[in-house]
Structure 1
Amino acid sequence: MAPRRILLSVGDESGDLHAANLMRAIRAQAPEAEFAGFGMARMAEAGLEPLAEEGAADGDMWLRNVLRLGRYRRRLAACCRYLDRRKPDLVVPVDFGGFNLCLCRAAAERGIAVFYYIPPQAWAHGEYRLKKLRKWISRAGLIYPFEEPLYRRRGVPAEYVGHPLFDELDRRPPSQQVVEGLRDGFGDMLVGVFPGSRRQEVRAHVPVMAEAARRIRRNVPQAAFAAVCTPGLGETVRELVSRAGGGVEVLDGVRPVELARASRLCLTKSGTITLEIASQLTPMVVYYRAGGLVAFLAYGLSSSPHVGLINVLAGRVVCPELATVAARPGWIAEQACRLLTEEGAWQACCRGMRQATDGFAVPGASERAARCALSLL
């Protein structure tokens, strides 16, 4: 059988991970598949032929991306050259809506099938993009069950395949040795701190979370605090914690899921990390602080009443959440102390997470997405 050429495009580390797992799942079902495009280390390990060297693009930080328009134009030009010269059988954009929508259009204009894996979150603040998706893609692979009815109503061919996070957790479950080591070292009132995966996020969240930790310790003296962050940001987080007066230990060599499992409670920014924490049934306080314009665009225009994905899944507030422009350490501390000291509140949070993730936090998304993609060939 002739090789199946597939062009992929991602914009950050998360997309790189999910795309790499998708590539492996496609190759397991179609060994003749060949992959080219824009990715990072994990996709290269999975067999990607890079069109150029790329780093993470901070895909959700639109203001920063405005300054990178030249880079994205060059990237799109390289994709178009590949589409014209190599004529791939399928284009697979993964997440990274701003750039990948342009790639969808370029592929559609050339009559090439498009499987958009993890398309823009129209359910949150991008329903206008559904008109473009309807014109430019062959099918979308959706990662949340509540997305499918919305896409279908708008005439966008789509299929719910599941969340790839749980494929990775199935492939690399938390180390029980690490979890037990954390519990032995910090005790049974460990509070995990998850300030974000990008530098601007940790700068916004660490000072507030460190001050919240100080206030929590006044009321719950046995509480201990530990943070994990993206590789390369450890020193930034340590410096910010130090400036705020200390009290939060920054861990190396510990995965977020391991800290979540070892913790009694987590303080976390919003985003996919809330699902990773919820998969361990650890109650959390969800907090997101952004600049005025960014906060307005991200949440003021949102069609969802919730900030945390676990609450979006549940359709109600299971875990306390707040998106704000102002620093609110007092609010974080108040919610955290309630969950740490009131067993009923802690148990209710656990029950809500269990109900919200039942049937959702299961592996197999990459295999289902691969079948969906290959059905277009």
Structure 2
Amino acid sequence: MTQIFISTGEVSGDLQGALLVNALQRQATEQGMDLEILALGGDRMAAAGATLLENTTAVGSIGIFESLPYVLPTLGIQRRAKAYLRQHPPDLVVMIDYLTPNLVMGRFVRRYLSAVPTVYYIAPQEWVWSAGAGNTRQIITISDEIFAVFPGEATYYKQWGGNVTYLGHPLVDQAASVPSRDAARQALGIPPEQVAIALLPASRRQEITYLLPVMVEAAQRIQTAMPAVHFWVPLSQEAFRPALTDAIERFGLQATLVDQSSQTVIAAADLALTKSGTVNLELALMNVPQIVVYRLNPLTAWIARKLLNFSIPYMSPTNLVLMEDIVPEFLQEQATPETLSAEALTLLQNDAARQRMLSGYERVQQAMGERGVCDRVAARLLAIIASK
């Protein structure tokens, strides 16, 4: 039995991990390999066939104060995972994003399981917002290989001496199976003439606090200007249902909370108001115009700017692919109901503005690589095990 251990967290890591698990199983079957995949991940990875040591989708955040509630749960998860791995060393360790926890896990593997090869797949975006060289050096140290999913990511880690390969972005594989606009609208019961907007506010608890209020107030303004509009809100975590239901009712939105896959909602939409994250690339691959929003605790933002001199060229992965303004980003104090609703109305009512964004999407899609990314990654991972 060949064993691979995959370490990731949060909803986006669970999605990427599930795509990889599926590909690993396909490749192992083709090679006649008996493969077991153990993981720190979530329900999607479990459904794909991984055996979860711990569920990590709900223990994630961005920011200083935002992370504090998750410190002790994360330490407990890591303590139990390390104990298991010392008793049952795998044949390969794969780390997906999830910066601080995976740095801890990588250092542990280097120290106590030094014979086990390690791969960082989708390395943390230190190439975008690194405030120093410390984390970058650690990522290089704990990784025998890095499989990059952005061209800029590959360039950055190569410059630091990493053993890096760019294989494309895995979401291009997922895009092949998304429903058509007509099929998605039929599944959701949306008439062809209905203007449908996807609200994608949160995959983390902190985003319910800082993003949802401004997003629903912007939606209310859009609804006032376009009374026939309807909003669709996919539920990323069951725990968010009460907050989302309350916000919809409080602002009087014509909105539907959807338990179905977010892909169905996205495919059916004319526009999305969305948090920054992996979902931005899903929108770009499905050619749905989007407006990206992000806010942190104001004190976290002040510390980052004033004390840490923190700045980033872009927040949205869609803009990071080409390092260009493909989609509008409204961060922190720029993210107001007035600016978001005005931008939304422009994209809904101005064909030229929509077309500019869709033309940018075409170039983003070309840069994300050809389909088969996950299978190429899986084949490389199994080859590393075979080379041992």
- Whole-Å Cα distance in 2 between the matches of residues 204 and 279 of structure 1? 27
Q: What is residue 5 of structure 1 aligned with on the other side? A: 3
| Residue pair 2:127, 2:157 contacting (<8 A) in 1 also | no
Map of 1:21-36 to 2, 5 A cutoff?
Answer: 21-30=19-28, 31-36=33-38
Give 1:115-130 correspondences, 5 Å limit: 115-126=119-130, 128=133, 129-130=135-136
Q: CA–CA distance in 2 between the matches of 1:263 and 1:102?
A: 40
The verdict on how the C-alpha distance between 1:324 and 1:315 changes in structure 2, with shifts beyond 3 A counting, is same
Deviation at 1:373, TM superposition (A): 1.8
**Aligned CA-pair RMSD:** 2.8
Q: Deviations for 1:237-281, whole angstroms, at most 9, x for unmatched residues? A: 1201222x2124023244333322322222111111111111121
2:118 to 114, 122, 129: 114
Contact 1:60 1:96 in 2 (8 A): no
Displacement of 1:120 in angstroms is 1.1
Aligned partners of 2:369 and 2:229: how far apart in 1? 29
Q: Which residue number corresponds to residue 149 of structure 1?
A: 155
Secondary structure (helix, strand or coil) at the match of 1:16 reads helix
Q: 2:178 and 2:356 mapped to 1: Cα distance?
A: 29
Structure 2 gaps, min length 5: none
Q: 2:281 — aligned with what?
A: 275
Aligned to 1:238: 245
Which moves more between the two structures, 130-139 or 177-186?
Answer: 177-186
Query: Which of residues 311, 320, 327 is equivalent to 2:328?
Result: 320
- Give 2:368's match in structure 1, choosing from 341, 354, 360: 360
| SS across alignment from 2:9 | coil
Write the mapping of 1:133-148 to structure 2, written as runs, cut at 5 A.
Answer: 133-148=139-154
Q: Measured at CA, do residues 36 and 255 of structure 1 come closer, stay the same or move farther in structure 2, by a change above 3 Å?
A: closer
Q: Deviations over 1:122-178 (max 9, x none)?
A: 122236322012211101122222211111001011222222233333345457433
SS across alignment from 1:107:
helix
How far off its partner does 1:114 sit? 0.5
Q: Which amino acid aligns with 1:309?
A: P
> Contact 2:59/2:70 (CA < 8 Å) preserved in 1?
no
Displacement of 1:64 in angstroms is 4.9
Residue 302 of structure 1 and its aligned partner are, at CA, apart by 5.3
Shift of 1:297: 6.8
2:49 is equivalent to residue 56 of structure 1:
no
**What pairs up with 1:59-208 in 2 under 5 angstroms?**
59-61=60-62, 63-109=65-111, 110-111=113-114, 112-126=116-130, 128=133, 129-173=135-179, 176-180=182-186, 184-185=190-191, 187-208=193-214
1:149 partner letter: T
1:178-210 residue CA offsets vs partner (Å, 9 max, x unmatched): 324657447343222221223331332232222
TM-score (norm 1): 0.87
Aligned-partner Cα distance in 2 for 1:224–1:13: 26
Give the Cα separation in 2 of the matches to 1:72 and 1:205: 24
Q: For the residues of structure 1 that align with 2:35 and 2:236, how far apart are their CA atoms?
A: 32
CA distance in 2, matches of 1:253, 1:73: 31
User: What one-letter code is carried by the residue in structure 2 that aligns with 1:114?
Assistant: T
% identical aligned pairs: 28
Q: Are 1:292 and 2:295 counterparts?
A: no
In 2, the alpha carbon distance for the partners of 1:137 and 1:262 equals 40
Q: TM-score, normalised by structure 2?
A: 0.85
> Which protein has the bigger helix share?
2
Which amino acid counterpart does residue 104 of structure 1 have in structure 2?
Answer: G
> Which has the larger displacement, 174-183 or 39-48?
174-183
Unaligned runs of 5+ in 1: none
| Residue aligning to 2:346 | 338
Is contact 1:286-1:321 (8 Å) kept? yes
Conserved? CA contact 2:197–2:231, under 8 Å: yes
Residue 341 of structure 1 aligns with an amino acid whose one-letter code is Q
Residue 157 and residue 296 in structure 1: after superposition, are their counterparts in 2 closer, same or farther (change >3 A)?
farther
Q: CA deviation at 1:105?
A: 1.0
**What SS does the aligned partner of 2:360 have?**
helix
Taking the aligned partners of 1:21 and 1:181, their CA distance within structure 2 comes to: 24
